[in-house]
Amino acid sequence: MAGHNKWSKVKRLKAVTDSRRGKIFSRLSREITLAAKAGGGDPQGNARLRTFVLKAREANMPADNVDRAIKKGTGELPGVVYEEITYEGYGPGGVAFIVKVTTDNKQRAAKDVRSAFARHGGNLASTGAVAFQFVHAGQFLVTKERIAEDTLLEIALEAGADDVIASAQGFEVRCSVQAYDRVTHALEQKDIKPESAEIAYIPTTTVPVADAAVAKQIVELHDALEEIDDVQTVFSNEEMDDAVAAQV
């Protein structure tokens, strides 16, 4: 999400309620399985896998669950075959959405995502319809309490990052998808623990949202999409000021 919205989303996701913990575990298991399948089952040699293993620990996911997910990815255990799909669409107010899905049933996933858009004032779009409004890149969010800006800038740029952006909430490190592993390693070596680390779709243009009613619809669409079992992550390009965000 754009601007301060991204930090707000991180805080919200960290406050995982017990009622949603099973869903969080399911999503993390899928991500771990896919990461292990793509890059091997050793977290030390697979930065993407290591990222999700750390997220699983933060969510208090049992170690046995993590181990099984890795073994399913490497083929040591039988498991469901998952596919990664990216859907694009428009929400209320012309806000662009990118929805990352991991599923064993493409028809079900497409139906559920399309239905969520339709119920909340949006519509599913064709591939490429909104992707041009985002850059696909590595993104790390680091609080100011963890490190000074100059120090972080030096570490990140030496590791191949493209930029370090300071804001009131903290620092955002951006890098190419290809440099994600190197930046991850560099931060780990300096014992810098980001609040969030992911390969994200970061908006290059944003849509200002000043109407509280539209903002409420956008938030409801986010919630509806994130409630779908197959949906892993939702990105969008709205920009709400603090007053509007507080109302919704």
The per-residue pLDDT for range 100-143, each reduced to its tens digit, is: 999 999 999 999 999 999 999 999 999 999 999 999 999 999 99
Residue among 147, 136, 135 nearest 171 (CA): 147
Cα–Cα distance measured from residue 234 to residue 220, given in angstroms and rounded to the nearest whole number: 12
Chain-wide mean pLDDT for the chain? 89
Range of the domain at 59: 4-74
Residue among 228, 203, 225, 183 nearest 51 (CA): 183
Cα–Cα distance measured from residue 158 to residue 173, given in angstroms and rounded to the nearest whole number: 12
pTM given for the model: 0.83
Axis-axis angle for helices 18-39, 63-74 (nearest 10): 30
Same-domain status, 28 and 149: no
Same-domain status, 137 and 188: yes
Domain assignment present for residue 246? The answer is: no
- Per DSSP, helices labelled H in 40-62 are 47-58
Residue 10 has pLDDT above 90, yes or no: no
Same-domain status, 111 and 221: yes
Which pLDDT tens digit goes with each residue over 50-72? 889 988 988 889 999 999 999 99
Which pLDDT tens digit goes with each residue over 76-102? 998 788 889 999 999 999 999 999 999
Tokens (6 digits) for 156:
């990140």
Same-domain status, 196 and 214: no
Same-domain status, 52 and 147: no
